[in-house]
Amino acid sequence: MKNKADELEQDLFRMAQREKMILPETVYKEVDDKLSEIHQAKRLGRMTWKRAVILAAALVAMCSLTVTAAVGALQRRMEAMNEREMEDYFVQIYTSRLGADNYSRPLTDAERERMDGLRTSYEEEAVFPEKILTMISSPEEYSGKGVAFYKDTSTFFLPEESMSDEELLEVIDFVYKRDYSLQAMNQKIEEGEISFPAQQIAQQGAQQIAGEEAAGEEETATGKETAAASKGTIQNPGQELTIPYTGDLAFQYIASGQNCIYLAGESCIHRMKIGSSDSELFFDGFEKETYVNAMYEDKKGNLYLGLNVRMDENDDSADSGITIGGVRYKTWLWILNADREVIRKVDIASLLKQEYGVRSRMITRIVVDEQGYVYVRAAFLWDVLLLVLDEQGNYIRSVTSEEFNCHDLGGLGIGKDGRVYTQIQTKNRMGIASVDPVKGSLDQIYMDIVPEGTIMLDIVAPGSDTDFVFWGYDGIFTYNLGEDKALNVLPAYEAPCNWEGVMYCALPDGRIVFADCSQYSHEGEKIKSVPENITFYYKSTLTQG
Amino acid sequence: MKEEVFEQRIREYTPNMYRLAYGILQNHEDAQDAVGETILRAFEKIHTLRRPECFRTWLMQITANEAKKIYAGNKRRIPAENMEDLMPDFCDDYHELWDVVMGLEMVYREAVLLYFYERLTIREIAKALHVPEGTVKSRLSRGKKLLREKLSDQ
């Protein structure tokens, strides 16, 4: 028998379904206007190829209908492109690894406004650039001056200073020519005038792959991975990139180093340059099956690893391990030096047993301050916010609070003031606090800084133009100490990728990097990311345009 | 998703977008703005939609967000006593539930609109409103209790 609550719910559904609202005509006009606006591609900002196709159609329509001298000049400019030139644009579109344009930094509001004006001048007054856009064959080639385009990732590299009219016109001109070529080539292919340039596309694609492999071999040959890690890196807090992963590691966790990103797979750690598409093996000296759950690189280049190492079946030690997928694992903290040598193995499992009488746990967060204190967060360790160890890995004390606890995956990091900050929470409140490692307590507390209902905050790291950047359920936040509220600079629904399940870290320049995998493989109980389906998204967290 | 399909589906769901936006914002001008912004935002983000069958849910989530953005900075908020004059038109006199829903506080109203009118699941509503599923459940539970009370008063 249905209960009264069910009946009420069904009644409400029926009532809602029966009600038919009449929309004012102005709503339909608004929809028409907005769809028309899309077709005219007024918002150049982040143009997708799909949008480019639409814009191309509009351009051709304009060219075929207009009679003014200026438009005639634009038409002549487009028609002046020879077939080879148009084919180059066409092939470029098909061989780009990304379906959308990217910019090395966001356009400022002033630049966007000027670009809109210049686009009108370009279309209606035949105001053209003196030069054409510079093409570069790798991001490292960009000198930092002028505007350049890197076709492999469809990225416009823009100067740090405000762009000149000439530079803006070069971008506009490039986009118009590319759109025109796309449309004209498609039309000719459709009409059978020319065939689809499959061979050129295959050749170009092969050249790109060869170029990437050659670059990889060159770096391996030097044997100077640390230097290579920062070589060619464009440290620009405003630079936004979308980069498909071309490496081969099925990784489950990422962490930011000082000049690189670490990727952790099963019993293996890779390192990749910031902005690179590929990764290289960094460490695989684990003797048994090992899961890397936390990583932190200190200022000296030492890498701290929170590990769960598979236990032997006949291991009957006092610590019976944590069971994951039917297998027992023991918790360790390993420290690697910059030369990738294991300099310390800290038996966290025994420490937990001795100090708290509990079995192995999972280290979820690690951070090391300038005094050499090592702060470790262990999951399911109720009432203990953090363990504090010395440089040798010896246990000193725990950090506790009578009022606050923390999420097992709550953020932990070092602020611009050099102090360690941790996420803290109560049942209904959320915030961060600085940690006093000597007293083993929280120091300065900043509560209620994110919206009510926020489940937890992760990534507590310095922002570029703010004290902190956080990952939260609602999106990416920036925060300045002492302010009432954090600012949601990237709402979750505006993220370039999935929000749930995505891997993320904060770079030293304040950017957030998402590593999103769109496909996983299943091997028994193990779920592995499929490397070729992983994409890296670099998002700026600048609050000033 | 092809552009023509996008356009077709936007037109198909325009009534849903407007109804949800109106329900949150409670005035025509803002609701219309929210619909317009939703269309632009959806087009910009269409490449992130991996499952076309989820288009309607995804669109409703964007609509809720755009409406809430306008709500947060709203300068046109309507005093409660004038609301009756600004009610939308319906095909017939049957809009008893709508009238009652419009009297709910925002947190209950948005959850009720998404659940009963737009038929989103608890999980989908949680994602749309950026709150935990438990929060959605409690808001819906409270919202239903209020609806029952108000409907029985009529």
- A255 and A151 in one domain? no
Q: Higher pLDDT residue, A62 or B97?
A: B97
Q: Is residue A144 part of a domain?
A: yes
pLDDT at A367 over 90: yes
Are A22 and B90 a contacting pair at CB < 8 A?
Answer: yes
Chain B residues close to A28, C-beta within 8 Å: 14
What average pLDDT does this structure show over A129-158?
A: 87
Are A31 and B61 a contacting pair at CB < 8 A?
Answer: no
Cα separation, A98 vs A519, whole angstroms? 18
Q: Is residue A332 part of a domain?
A: yes
pLDDT score for B54: 78
Host H or E run for residue A221: helix A198-222
Contact status, residue B42 vs residue B3, Cβ threshold 8 Å:
no
Average per-residue pLDDT for chain A:
82
pLDDT at A335 over 80: yes
What average pLDDT does this structure show over B148-152?
A: 87
pLDDT band at A5 (very low <50, low <70, confident <90, very high): low
- A176 and A45 in one domain? yes
- A466 and A369 in one domain? yes
Q: Please say which residue of A155, A177, A205 terminates a domain.
A: A205
pLDDT score for B86: 54
Which of A321-325, A465-469, B48-52 holds the top average pLDDT?
Answer: A465-469
Chain A residues close to B40, C-beta within 8 Å: 34, 37-38, 43
pLDDT score for A466: 93
pLDDT at A497 over 90: no
Chain B residues close to A27, C-beta within 8 Å: 14, 18, 31-32, 35
What average pLDDT does this structure show over A82-94?
A: 83
Cα separation, B88 vs B25, whole angstroms? 12
Instruction: Give me the domains of chain B, ranges plus CATH numbers.
Output: 3-153 (1.20.140.160)
Q: Is residue A79 part of a domain?
A: yes
- A410 and A356 in one domain? yes
pLDDT at B128 over 60: yes
- A327 and A275 in one domain? yes
Read off the tokens for A216: 């990889």
CATH number at residue A375: 2.120.10.30
Read off the tokens for A95: 């061989």
pLDDT score for A318: 64
Host H or E run for residue A270: strand A268-273
Q: Is residue A348 part of a domain?
A: yes
Nearest-Cα distance to chain B for A454, in Å, is 6
Host H or E run for residue A112: helix A109-124
Q: Is residue A445 part of a domain?
A: yes
Q: Please say which residue of A205, A240, A263 terminates a domain.
A: A205
pLDDT score for A101: 67
- A345 and A391 in one domain? yes
Question: What is the phi/psi pair of residue A421, to 5°?
Answer: -120, 140
What amino acid occupies position A433? Answer: A
Are A31 and B35 a contacting pair at CB < 8 A?
Answer: yes
> Lowest-confidence range among A37-46, A168-177, A501-510, B104-113?
A37-46
- A524 and A416 in one domain? yes
Q: Is residue A17 part of a domain?
A: no
Are B15 and A21 a contacting pair at CB < 8 A?
Answer: yes
Complete DSSP assignment for A357-403: ------EEEEEE-TT--EEEEETT-TT--EEEE-TT--EEEEE--SS
DSSP code, position B79: P
Q: Is residue A23 part of a domain?
A: no
Widest CA span of chain A, in angstroms? Answer: 88
pLDDT band at B47 (very low <50, low <70, confident <90, very high): low
Cα separation, A106 vs A465, whole angstroms? 15
- A286 and A149 in one domain? no
pLDDT at B79 over 50: no
Complete DSSP assignment for A428-440: S-EEEEEEETTTT
Cα separation, A326 vs A307, whole angstroms? 17
pLDDT score for B138: 84
> Lowest-confidence range among A202-206, A395-399, B67-71, B99-103?
A202-206
Q: Is residue A19 part of a domain?
A: no
Are B132 and A455 a contacting pair at CB < 8 A?
Answer: yes
- A231 and A158 in one domain? no
| A424-448 confidence digits (pLDDT tens) | 998 778 999 999 999 999 999 999 9
Are A20 and B90 a contacting pair at CB < 8 A?
Answer: yes
Contact status, residue B122 vs residue B137, Cβ threshold 8 Å:
yes
- A317 and A268 in one domain? yes
Counting residues of chain A whose pLDDT is more than 70, the rounded percentage is: 83
What average pLDDT does this structure show over A372-381?
A: 91
Beta bridge partners of A344: A335
Q: Is the ipTM of this complex over 0.90?
A: no
- A470 and A361 in one domain? yes
Contact status, residue A539 vs residue A476, Cβ threshold 8 Å:
yes
Q: Scanning every residue of chain B, which has its alpha carbon at the shortest distance from the alpha carbon of A428?
A: B135
Interface subset of B 51-70, CB within 8 angstroms of A: 61-62, 65
| B22, B32, B88 member nearest A26 (Cβ) | B32
| A39-77 confidence digits (pLDDT tens) | 764 333 334 433 344 444 444 444 444 435 666 888 888
Cα separation, A212 vs B90, whole angstroms? 62
Average per-residue pLDDT for chain B:
82
pLDDT score for A63: 43
| A188-241 confidence digits (pLDDT tens) | 776 778 877 777 776 766 665 555 555 444 433 333 333 333 333 345 677 778
Cα separation, A263 vs A254, whole angstroms? 5
pLDDT at B2 over 80: no
Q: Scanning every residue of chain A, which has its alpha carbon at the shortest distance from the alpha carbon of B61?
A: A493
Q: Please say which residue of A142, A171, A205 terminates a domain.
A: A205
pLDDT score for A301: 92
Are B3 and A54 a contacting pair at CB < 8 A?
Answer: yes
Are A497 and B48 a contacting pair at CB < 8 A?
Answer: yes
pLDDT band at A524 (very low <50, low <70, confident <90, very high): low
**Structural domain for A366, as ranges:** 223-539
- A361 and A307 in one domain? yes
Chain B residues close to A53, C-beta within 8 Å: 3
What average pLDDT does this structure show over A108-132?
A: 88
What is the number of domains present in chain A?
A: 2
pLDDT band at A91 (very low <50, low <70, confident <90, very high): confident
Is A336 strand, coil or helix? strand
Q: Higher pLDDT residue, B47 or A306?
A: A306
pLDDT at A393 over 60: yes
Contact status, residue A281 vs residue A268, Cβ threshold 8 Å:
yes
